Structure 1
Amino acid sequence: MATKDGSEAALKTNPNNWHRWKNLLPDVGAGLLLCAFLVPAGMAYSTASGLPPVAGLYASIVSLIIYGLLGPSRVLILGPDSALAPLIAAAVVPLSGGDPHRALALAGLLAIFVGVYLVLGYFLKLGFLSNLLSKPIRTGYLAGLAVVVGLSQLAGLLGRSSDGVTEPWNQLTSAIGRVARGDFNMIAALIGGITIVILLVATRLPTNLRLLGILVTVGGSMVASAVFGLNEMLPVVGALPSGLPAPALSGFSWGDVIATAGPAAGIALLAFADTAVLSRSLAQRNGVRVDGGKEMLALGSANAASGVLGGFPISASTSRTPVALNAGARSRLAGLAAGLWLLVFMLTLPGVTAHLPSSVLSGVVIVAAASMVDIDGIKGLIRSSRIETALMAGTFVGVLVLGVLPGVVLAVVLSLAVFVQATFSPYRTELVKVAGRPGFHDITRHPEGRRIPGLALVRFDSPLFFANGQVFVDHVRDIVDASPQPVRCVIVAAEGITGVDSTAVEHLVQLDEYLEKKGISLVFAELKGPVKDRLAKFGLADRFDRGHHFSTVESAVEHFSGQS
């Protein structure tokens, strides 16, 4: 079924039939429109990464062509991304010493490392690592990146260089000081401000009209600059070098290799997480499945090729892909066509950017950064969970205080901490009978419920392992001790216990021996077959024989209720 913007119909083509002739004209046309968007966006994100503008076009060309040939998704557009820009800049700028050629070489090395990590991840089946960034962590991290990226563009927006200032707070105070002293280019700031306003208005237009915003600002600013001779009055991008993407890997040492290897791991994780989320959302929308492993392989190959041929790390983006879809893209051929159109642009029209004000690119980046802030997601977290809100806020502050690269580490650590906390101390409760309702229910949700005389019904929602075995034991003992009547049998509603390790087995034996001394039986209801097999392998087949297992909680209660 088609939607208003036509993107549903665009995705109904079989991904394996991207070469069909009927897709040729729509995809080539979509590629041309996409190219018009990618030229300013690619240059803007390259500038935000601390690199020459042309590097963004090289990265776009290479990644589009490689993914067009290898990618598993029907329509997914790779290229420079605002979320990766601050990480690239943090890794490259301190090592480059202000030398743009060295910066390009380091960025290429960084992209190669990203590609190698992702390709290795494909062969080692590590795609699950993209799930390390939970929603609150991801929301806070991207919001922090948005602030970092936006503040990094203030100097360019004012028509001035950054003067080596990299800390967000210093960038803000420096910009305020310049405005207060009048030390800024009024024309550049005016053009940059107009760019931001037009692009923000464009975000409220239908998706298929948003491309007009960037075309109007970029085209209009170049025409104004040429007509009124603004080149002598404000910084401009200048003409781009003509030619094909070429290797720029030279002039780095083993120290540079070591220095870029670590940041590349964080960039690889974020790039794949972004790409996987977008790929899955598009696939789910259209009732198809995408191979996450092949997605990782294609993304890794595109990054490695980008690094070799003068580019830098890339990923998928929620801004470029909708542009392609709403331009009529039907298959991966659209991305391939866009890469070829960019190649034609580089060979025939590199001088067209000679009159493009640099502050326009800063405005493009600032608006792109603002789009990384998920306002609805933030509101939802605040409404639903204090803990997740705190995690989001902690990640946000961590990015601003520690920096974007340590922020990746912090995000992963916090995500793992949430997982560990949930696993070490899972939800657990006592079950009771509720009048008028079948089955047995959580006593915390139904305090009016009635305990079954002589029985203690226990629920534990986690696999049993070394870290929570004692928690399980304490939970059972607390329920037994708190029972208003003597307990003859503990029935564990074990549907949530999906695994057990050797340490947890020791805890189970100790618990069973403790209860046995008090004349209390320990039995399990709804325990999974593989967990029973594990208990048998640990030598507990006799201790927990068939008489200790029941198919349902109801059958266990019925059995023991009949005993006196």
Structure 2
Amino acid sequence: MRGSQWVPGVRAAATYEARWLPRDLVAGLVLTALLVPQGMAYAELAGLPAITGLYTSILCLVAYAIFGPSRVLVLGPDSALGPMIAAVVVPIVLADGDPGRAVALASVLALLVGLFMTVAAVAQLGFVADLLSHPTQLGYINGLAVTIFFGQLPKLFGFSVEGEGLFADIKGFVTGLDETVPAAVAIGAGGLAVILVLQRFLPRAPGVLVAVVGAIAAVTMLGLDDVDVVGPLPQGFPPFTIPLVSLQELGMLAAAAVGITLVSVTDTISTASTFAARAGREVHGNQEMAGIGAANLAAGLFQGFPVSTSASRTAVAAAAGAKSQVTGLVGAAAITLMLLLVPGLLRDMPQPMLAAVVIAASIGLLDIDGMVRLWRQRRVEFALAASAFVGVAVLGVLPGIAVAVALSVLNVFRRAWWPYRTVLAKPDGVDGYHDLHQYPDGVRMDGLIIFRFDAPLIFANARTFREEVRRLAQQEPRWIVIAAEPITDVDTTAADMLEELDEELNAKGISLVFAELKHPVKEKIDRYELTRTIDPAHFYPSLDDAVAAYRAGFGP
């Protein structure tokens, strides 16, 4: 990245148009109505005080406006990251017996995520987002949605449960139903219904704000003392803080930060691509990572926790007419003024209402249609998604992301290990040579077999290639022509296999011939000195040339 690219906000300020300001101001105020309740709710989802969600929102919005490349992307506390933060922070806090340390642990986690993001941006590692394939990401997010849903149900019903993991949450909820607080259920369920109904029928309406205002009014006017509320928030701007943890805790936090970084990058690149495509712009993955890294570093130094891009908040800002990151700055300023001037504004916000906000977010994460589509289109990828889902549900959030990454990588190896391979034939009335499975009546020449192997030829599939060619050799052809256009690489293991295979075939009077081999791959074969055994004349630029040479040597 060139030096001028590190601070896109400076370039954006220099090119800002005055006519955008009214839209950015309105969009920023609309966005604030969503940022405040969601920030508080997602902070509690992460096992942290609600105020840290507001601190985090302020700092990440300001930092991304300076260092982020997107004009409309909105960062902040995220429902998908909340359980990942809680999975590492809560056990440490409970074991130590000091709940106040949760903020310090989460802040160090944010600093680590910011550091990893920044290093990845400098090293041009934007491709790490590809480590989570769409099917495994779909399964992971669905597992996360279900975990969040059941984890928040007890809070919606006015009680808490002890336990860790999806099944423990379900069991705790069922066994704790006798502790239900009716007023809490009324507030939480009513608020959830308002959010979902407005999202469905009036998507432009601030459903979360309407539900929150109604819940606060109900608690205040009806005197619902048995409903837990947030309580008074600290007044003022978040203080600059350098959090301290032990080396042992640092190791645990670093492992979690890797998973959070991967999820955050993947989500951000996906969201940025969607909104950039609408505006006809390009996404710069490494710059996005630098922007997210800066946002996390800023949050971590002001008692915040890891953040990511929010597709829902970005959509709200875009729908409200946001033209630039001034929208985010307006949101940050509005939250700051609230903390400075009216910190008691939200003291009567019911905890069940915060649970309703989180549950609504989890429902938004759930993608049943995507799973059904995978089932219909490709069962193997459905199995990957289902396995990622089970990984989150059974093993937990952090091990679940490890399972998702492992499944994505294994799926790549599976495709390289057992690639599609077929024999080609020449169909009547169709140009060229095509898959015999697709054209079973295609014409084949006596003594000539054309074999296509749809993958790079590497150590993982060298044995598969050899066994397939040996099987074809049992038909006793004169030539086995490899349609090599899909073979984009040949490693040394495969080269040794080809040398042994060619000698084995030559002993049977069969020639191994290559057609359409790419020039870089041919150069590797020359460097491996394979032409000591494979006849240098048996490399042809096209299948037609190979077939013509066979006809010239052996007749029609």
For the superposition of Structure 1 and Structure 2, which TM-score range results when normalised by the shorter chain?
A: over 0.9
- The structural deviation recorded for 1:546 is 5.6
For the pair 1:556 / 2:546, whether they are aligned, the reply is: yes
- The structural deviation recorded for 1:363 is 0.4
- The structural deviation recorded for 1:248 is 4.5
Cα distance in 1 between the residues matched to 2:237 and 2:535: 72
Q: Determine if contact 1:18/1:332 at 8 Å carries over to the other structure.
A: no
Q: Which residue of 1 aligns with 2:478?
A: 488
Give the letter for the 2:72 counterpart. Answer: V
Greater CA drift, 440-449 or 460-469: 440-449
Provide closer, same or farther for how the CA distance between residues 205 and 248 of structure 1 changes in structure 2, counting only shifts above 3 A: farther
Q: Determine if contact 2:502/2:534 at 8 Å carries over to the other structure.
A: no
Q: Determine if contact 1:102/1:251 at 8 Å carries over to the other structure.
A: no
For the pair 1:112 / 2:111, whether they are aligned, the reply is: yes
- The structural deviation recorded for 1:519 is 2.2
For the pair 1:285 / 2:283, whether they are aligned, the reply is: no
- SS for the counterpart of 1:121 is helix
- SS for the counterpart of 2:201 is coil
- The structural deviation recorded for 1:502 is 1.0
- The structural deviation recorded for 1:250 is 4.1
**Where do 1:298-317 residues align within 5 Å?**
298-317=291-310
For each residue in 1:91-120, what CA deviation from the matched residue of structure 2 results, as whole angstroms up to 9, or x when unmatched?
A: 100111264420000000111111111111
Cα distance in 1 between the residues matched to 2:308 and 2:88: 17
Q: Which residue of 2 aligns with 1:513?
A: 503
For the pair 1:377 / 2:367, whether they are aligned, the reply is: no
For the pair 1:205 / 2:204, whether they are aligned, the reply is: no
Q: Which residue of 1 aligns with 2:56?
A: 59
Give the letter for the 2:389 counterpart. Answer: F
Q: Please, which runs of 5 or more residues in structure 2 have no aligned partner? A: 1-10
For the pair 1:245 / 2:238, whether they are aligned, the reply is: yes
- SS for the counterpart of 2:530 is coil
Cα distance in 2 between the residues matched to 1:316 and 1:60: 11
- SS for the counterpart of 2:429 is coil
For each residue in 1:209-251, what CA deviation from the matched residue of structure 2 results, as whole angstroms up to 9, or x when unmatched?
A: 3x2x111101111122222222x23101112111112244445
Q: Please, which runs of 5 or more residues in structure 1 have no aligned partner? A: 1-13
- The structural deviation recorded for 1:542 is 5.7
For each residue in 1:505-560, what CA deviation from the matched residue of structure 2 results, as whole angstroms up to 9, or x when unmatched?
A: 11111122122222222222211111111112222356557622222212221221
Q: Which residue of 1 aligns with 2:192?
A: 196
Cα distance in 1 between the residues matched to 2:119 and 2:221: 52
Cα distance in 2 between the residues matched to 1:206 and 1:533: 62
For each residue in 1:381-416, what CA deviation from the matched residue of structure 2 results, as whole angstroms up to 9, or x when unmatched?
A: 111122222221121112111111111111111111
Cα distance in 2 between the residues matched to 1:19 and 1:542: 66
For the pair 1:460 / 2:453, whether they are aligned, the reply is: yes
**Where do 1:115-514 residues align within 5 Å?**
115-162=114-161, 164-179=162-177, 181=178, 183-205=179-201, 207-209=203-205, 211=206, 213-230=207-224, 232-250=225-243, 252-481=245-474, 483=475, 486-514=476-504
Give the letter for the 2:518 counterpart. Answer: K
- The structural deviation recorded for 1:458 is 0.8
- The structural deviation recorded for 1:75 is 1.0
Cα distance in 2 between the residues matched to 1:443 and 1:143: 40
- SS for the counterpart of 1:563 is helix
- SS for the counterpart of 2:256 is helix
Give the letter for the 1:522 counterpart. Answer: L
Q: Which residue of 1 aligns with 2:93?
A: 96
Q: Determine if contact 1:524/1:550 at 8 Å carries over to the other structure.
A: yes
Greater CA drift, 341-350 or 110-119: 341-350
Cα distance in 1 between the residues matched to 2:533 and 2:26: 71
Cα distance in 2 between the residues matched to 1:249 and 1:184: 41
Cα distance in 2 between the residues matched to 1:283 and 1:384: 28
2:39 to 23, 37, 42: 42
Q: Determine if contact 2:269/2:283 at 8 Å carries over to the other structure.
A: no
Provide closer, same or farther for how the CA distance between residues 546 and 74 of structure 1 changes in structure 2, counting only shifts above 3 A: farther
Q: Determine if contact 1:69/1:336 at 8 Å carries over to the other structure.
A: no
- The structural deviation recorded for 1:332 is 2.0
Provide closer, same or farther for how the CA distance between residues 142 and 18 of structure 1 changes in structure 2, counting only shifts above 3 A: farther
Cα distance in 2 between the residues matched to 1:286 and 1:443: 45
Alignment RMSD: 1.8
Provide closer, same or farther for how the CA distance between residues 63 and 375 of structure 1 changes in structure 2, counting only shifts above 3 A: same
- The structural deviation recorded for 1:261 is 1.0
- SS for the counterpart of 2:69 is coil
2:80 to 72, 80, 83: 83
Provide closer, same or farther for how the CA distance between residues 523 and 207 of structure 1 changes in structure 2, counting only shifts above 3 A: farther
Provide closer, same or farther for how the CA distance between residues 538 and 16 of structure 1 changes in structure 2, counting only shifts above 3 A: farther
Q: Determine if contact 1:244/1:343 at 8 Å carries over to the other structure.
A: yes
Q: Determine if contact 2:23/2:323 at 8 Å carries over to the other structure.
A: yes
Cα distance in 2 between the residues matched to 1:277 and 1:246: 33
- SS for the counterpart of 1:492 is strand
Q: Determine if contact 2:499/2:534 at 8 Å carries over to the other structure.
A: no
Provide closer, same or farther for how the CA distance between residues 494 and 339 of structure 1 changes in structure 2, counting only shifts above 3 A: same
Q: Which residue of 2 aligns with 1:523?
A: 513
Q: Determine if contact 2:503/2:533 at 8 Å carries over to the other structure.
A: no
Provide closer, same or farther for how the CA distance between residues 426 and 147 of structure 1 changes in structure 2, counting only shifts above 3 A: same
Identity value in percent: 42
Cα distance in 2 between the residues matched to 1:543 and 1:206: 73
Give the letter for the 2:176 counterpart. Answer: R
- SS for the counterpart of 1:241 is coil
Q: Determine if contact 1:218/1:356 at 8 Å carries over to the other structure.
A: yes
Q: Determine if contact 1:19/1:333 at 8 Å carries over to the other structure.
A: no
Q: Which residue of 2 aligns with 1:72?
A: 69
Cα distance in 2 between the residues matched to 1:194 and 1:487: 76
- The structural deviation recorded for 1:353 is 0.5
For each residue in 1:166-186, what CA deviation from the matched residue of structure 2 results, as whole angstroms up to 9, or x when unmatched?
A: 23222222222232x2x1211
- SS for the counterpart of 1:160 is coil
Q: Determine if contact 2:117/2:261 at 8 Å carries over to the other structure.
A: yes
Q: Determine if contact 1:430/1:479 at 8 Å carries over to the other structure.
A: no
Q: Determine if contact 2:243/2:301 at 8 Å carries over to the other structure.
A: no
Q: Determine if contact 1:104/1:248 at 8 Å carries over to the other structure.
A: no
Provide closer, same or farther for how the CA distance between residues 549 and 284 of structure 1 changes in structure 2, counting only shifts above 3 A: farther
Cα distance in 2 between the residues matched to 1:550 and 1:16: 58
Q: Determine if contact 1:36/1:215 at 8 Å carries over to the other structure.
A: yes
- The structural deviation recorded for 1:286 is 3.1
- The structural deviation recorded for 1:561 is 2.2
Name the count of aligned residue pairs.
542
